[in-house]
Chains A and B, each alone.
Chain A
Amino acid sequence: MRKLFRKLRAALLFSWQDALTYRAEGFVWFINDAVIPLVMIAFWLAAYRTVDRVGEYAVADMVHYYVMFLALNTILTPYPEGYSSYLIRNGTISLHLVRPFPFQLWLLAGEVAGRGVRLFFLIPLILLIVLILGPGLLDAFALTWATAPILLASMVLSFLLSYCLKLAIGLLAFWIGRVDGIAQVFIVVKIFLAGNIIPLDLMPAAVERMTFFLPFRYLYFFPVQLLQGRLDFPSALGGLAMQGMWLALAFLLMQWVFAAGVRRYGAYGG
């Protein structure tokens, strides 16, 4: 296990160097993940001119929600599906499969490094938003000493959950070659059910109830709720447990798809 961690650390350092090479591309992808929350902030600021509250959200809560959503969305959204499917399609994955280091971990290191680099763009953007909207924005922060560790854990689980689900999609390239369509459907469903457009607790009750039984709620909405102090300690722990369960399922799914995919690759070549 120590050897594996040593390899993972080396892969991470290597991937960081690679991620730092393409600053411009990194910035464009960052904007891709930041644009919906930014548009939604503008939308809700206009909407709140005529109302004081929407559900349990005052205007400051709503803006805070999207700023936090933006932060989590940009640093916790990996994109392993594109690169993995590309490697499978052109056969370069062969070079990874003959190495004594799991391909899944190699790709994970790359994704972690890529998200880390986004902090260089995220921090100035958050400061700019606070400067424009005023420091009152920070009042909606309601993290406690009890929920802070849960938040940190939930961020790690969120990233890994997203990674496993999206890598499972990427690995479908072993069968169908191109996965762009499936990946796009996943993103669209996620946008609606993860809370990108509207906070999930403002959705119709039936839809919100459904989100409790899907993984998307636990990607960003759950950590944002923790940040806004909307969950008591038992609910926070319950949410974390659900997140852990979804991660376990997504991990098993991804591993199964990988094993079956490699068997198929081995059977039919590439």
Chain B
Amino acid sequence: MSAISVKNLSKYYEVHQKEPGLVGSLKSFVRRKTYDVKAVDDISFAIESGELVGFLGPNGAGKTTTLKVLSGLLYPTGGEVSVLGYTPWERQAAFQRRFALVMGQKNQVWWDLPPMETFLINKEIYEVPDAQFQETLDTLVQILELEKVINVQARKLSLGERMKCELLAALLHRPQVLFLDEPTIGLDVVMQQNIRNFVREYNARYGATVILTSHYMRDVEALCDRVLIIDHGHLVFDGDLETVVRRYADYKFMTVTFASPVAEAELERYGAVTSYRPRTTTLRIARDAVPQVSAQLLQDYPVLDLNIVEPEVDDVVRQLFSGGQSTYAEAVS
């Protein structure tokens, strides 16, 4: 049985609409216009135990809504969901003891007390046995390098230290399923890397199923073999990142270093020039035309070096998101 199973999940919201300005506020005070938003619209997927899956999508795509349904915070408008065999929105304590939700923009570590106090209260709330608590605490403190901060008032810690404490607080009961909603938001690149390393290690060490949402492609690239791309409430892709690139990027980049300077206008015959210096130029070339163009360039110019690379996943996904409805329709078909 899959750790997480989602069938035809839909979640619609009713939202208020207000015209701009004071007049709009007065109108809205008397009568409010509402409309339905399809935050999630008929999506299905299954995640096996121990998988580390990335949820990608622009703001408002439905990523967080899906996570909230999976963690039991939201009732779906339609569809079936099972997490570890439980129906999340029944919010049974036995289910709640087996998963954790970390929201990068919401804190559970108590602001005015040292993080250790939050860890101790979580130990009681999640009914963690003493020995297991101590062992998990020691392990996680060591991995996250938190020895010096767990007894310092949380408000005195840096954002990165607090985020690591958030992760620790969420994982003390060794959840089998971990929902991470933007866990690296606002962190510097070094701390983002630390968090990624930790998530990967936790997944490997405890065999936990992890779903990660992030705006940072680096998070997903570094951690997830599989991604679910969601936009406008639709699941537009389910597979590995390489397939995303192959499917949605019909081009490659070719960087050529010439023995002598070549004019930019000459090179435009071979493909779109994305970066130009007289001796080293990068061209964007249609995927199918790469063998032919490279052979032609080698024949036409004295080439010292020629390097062909796939586009950055980040760029591909960004293009996919900015492609509009036609792209989704195409992707789904």
Residue of B nearest to A3 (CB): B127
Closest CB pairs A-B (n = 9): A10-B124, A100-B93, A266-B75, A100-B96, A101-B125, A14-B121, A21-B112, A95-B108, A266-B74
Please tell me if the beta carbons of A6 and B124 are within 8 angstroms of each other in the complex.
yes
Collect the chain A residues with CB atoms within 8 Å of residue B93's CB.
Answer: 100
Collect the chain B residues with CB atoms within 8 Å of residue A21's CB.
Answer: 112-113
User: Known interface pairs A10-B121, A92-B106. Does A269 touch B91 (Cβ–Cβ under 8 Å)?
Assistant: no
A22 to B113, CA, bound (A): 11
Give a binary string over A1-43; 1 marks a CB under 8 Å from any B CB, 0 the rest: 0010011001100100110011000000000000000000000
Give a binary string over A234-270; 1 marks a CB under 8 Å from any B CB, 0 the rest: 0000000000000000000000000000010111111
Q: Which residue of the partner chain, among A10, A97, A101, contacts B73 with CB atoms under 8 Å? A: A97
Please tell me if the beta carbons of B75 and A95 are within 8 angstroms of each other in the complex.
no
16 A-B contact pairs sorted by A residue (CB < 8 Å): A7-B124, A10-B124, A14-B110, A18-B112, A92-B106, A94-B68, A95-B103, A95-B107, A95-B108, A99-B125, A99-B126, A100-B94, A266-B73, A269-B13, A269-B39, A269-B65
Collect the chain B residues with CB atoms within 8 Å of residue A7's CB.
Answer: 124-125
A183 to B120, CA, bound (A): 34
Residue of B nearest to A268 (CB): B13
Give a binary string over A113-157; 1 marks a CB under 8 Å from any B CB, 0 the rest: 000000000000000000000000000000000000000000000
For the complex, is B101 an interface residue (Cβ under 8 Å from A)? Answer: yes
A7 to B128, CA, bound (A): 11
User: Known interface pairs A18-B112, A265-B73. Does A97 touch B91 (Cβ–Cβ under 8 Å)?
Assistant: yes
For the complex, is B72 an interface residue (Cβ under 8 Å from A)? Answer: yes
For the complex, is A188 an interface residue (Cβ under 8 Å from B)? Answer: no
Apart from A3-B127, A10-B124, A14-B121, what 20 extra A-B contacts exist at CB < 8 Å? A7-B124, A14-B110, A21-B112, A91-B106, A92-B106, A94-B73, A95-B101, A95-B103, A95-B106, A97-B91, A98-B73, A98-B91, A98-B101, A99-B96, A99-B125, A100-B93, A100-B126, A266-B73, A269-B68, A269-B74
A101 to B96, CA, bound (A): 9
Collect the chain B residues with CB atoms within 8 Å of residue A94's CB.
Answer: 68, 73, 101, 103, 106
Please tell me if the beta carbons of B101 and A263 are within 8 angstroms of each other in the complex.
no
Chain A nearest CB from B40 CB (Å) reads 11
Collect the chain A residues with CB atoms within 8 Å of residue B246's CB.
Answer: none
Chain B nearest CB from A34 CB (Å) reads 24
Please tell me if the beta carbons of B72 and A22 are within 8 angstroms of each other in the complex.
no
Collect the chain A residues with CB atoms within 8 Å of residue B14's CB.
Answer: 268
Collect the chain B residues with CB atoms within 8 Å of residue A10's CB.
Answer: 120-121, 124-125
**Among B14, B39, B120, B125, residue most surrounded by chain A Cβ atoms (within 10 Å):** B125
Give a binary string over A45-74; 1 marks a CB under 8 Å from any B CB, 0 the rest: 000000000000000000000000000000
For the complex, is B270 an interface residue (Cβ under 8 Å from A)? Answer: no
A101 to B74, CA, bound (A): 18
For the complex, is B97 an interface residue (Cβ under 8 Å from A)? Answer: yes
Collect the chain A residues with CB atoms within 8 Å of residue B107's CB.
Answer: 92, 95
Q: Total number of A-B contacts with CB less than 8 angstroms?
A: 75
In B94-130, the 8 Å CB interface with A consists of 94, 96-97, 99, 101, 103, 106-108, 110, 112-113, 117, 120-121, 124-127
A100 to B99, CA, bound (A): 11
Interface residues of A (CB under 8 A from B): 3, 6-7, 10-11, 14, 17-18, 21-22, 91-92, 94-95, 97-101, 263, 265-270
For the complex, is B86 an interface residue (Cβ under 8 Å from A)? Answer: no
For the complex, is B213 an interface residue (Cβ under 8 Å from A)? Answer: no
Please tell me if the beta carbons of B75 and A98 are within 8 angstroms of each other in the complex.
no
Chain A nearest CB from B152 CB (Å) reads 14
Collect the chain B residues with CB atoms within 8 Å of residue A3's CB.
Answer: 127
For the complex, is B71 an interface residue (Cβ under 8 Å from A)? Answer: yes
A131 to B72, CA, bound (A): 57
Chain A nearest CB from B89 CB (Å) reads 6
**Among B65, B73, B96, B126, residue most surrounded by chain A Cβ atoms (within 10 Å):** B73
Chain B nearest CB from A49 CB (Å) reads 48
Please tell me if the beta carbons of A263 and B125 are within 8 angstroms of each other in the complex.
no
Collect the chain A residues with CB atoms within 8 Å of residue B127's CB.
Answer: 3, 100
Please tell me if the beta carbons of B74 and A98 are within 8 angstroms of each other in the complex.
no
A204 to B74, CA, bound (A): 51
Collect the chain A residues with CB atoms within 8 Å of residue B13's CB.
Answer: 268-269
Residue of B nearest to A6 (CB): B124
Chain B nearest CB from A14 CB (Å) reads 5
A164 to B101, CA, bound (A): 29
Residue of A nearest to B89 (CB): A266
Collect the chain B residues with CB atoms within 8 Å of residue A18's CB.
Answer: 110, 112-113
Please tell me if the beta carbons of B89 and A100 are within 8 angstroms of each other in the complex.
no
Chain A nearest CB from B189 CB (Å) reads 27
**Among B94, B106, B107, B124, residue most surrounded by chain A Cβ atoms (within 10 Å):** B124
Chain A nearest CB from B303 CB (Å) reads 57
Q: Which residue of the partner chain, among B103, B106, B117, B126, contacts A14 with CB atoms under 8 Å? A: B117
User: Known interface pairs A266-B74, A268-B14. Does A100 touch B113 (Cβ–Cβ under 8 Å)?
Assistant: no
Residue of B nearest to A96 (CB): B108
Collect the chain B residues with CB atoms within 8 Å of residue A269's CB.
Answer: 13, 39, 65, 68, 73-74
**Among A6, A11, A101, A269, residue most surrounded by chain B Cβ atoms (within 10 Å):** A269
Q: Which residue of the partner chain, among B96, B108, B121, contacts A11 with CB atoms under 8 Å? A: B121
